[in-house]
Amino acid sequence: MQDKSFPYGYWIKMLGIFIVVAGIINCIIEYYNKTPINVNGLAMGLSWGFVFIFFSKERTDDEMMQGLKFKALATAVIVAFSITQLYNYIFLNRGFERHGEVHSISAYQFLSFTLILATGYFYYLKYQATTKGQE
């Protein structure tokens, strides 16, 4: 039985990039049409795209890459959760909602924020590991 840590092949990253770009283009079109920007719609596109990008296999899919992805994801979940809770505490419990409409962070926004952090941190860790190996 073959060990499959990440369910998507390497080529699925291109699908993820396409979804992210399509979501951003849609948001720009909404902005230029003077319609209210649908932040949850943008977050939904970003989260779907970054799910495919982050959970796809790498070209060299060894134990080190899997460890780096796990470390990046574990760190990103803690950081994103802390920032989300801090935002909700400050803006929803401290009276800011009286000065305007303040919404809590949705699940799509939390997921997209977490996956963006995880993907960025993973590629930073990967860069560090590859440059350290070349020295």
In whole angstroms, what is the distance from residue 97 CA to residue 88 CA?
A: 11
pTM of the full structure: 0.83
Q: Is residue 54 part of a domain?
A: yes
- Close Cβ partners of 45 (under 8 Å, ≥ 6 residues apart): 19, 20, 22, 23, 24, 26
Q: Tens of pLDDT along 5-62?
A: 667 788 899 999 999 999 999 888 888 888 887 888 889 999 999 999 999 988 887 8
Number of domains in the chain: 1
Establish if 2 belongs to a structural domain: no
Range of the domain at 71: 12-134
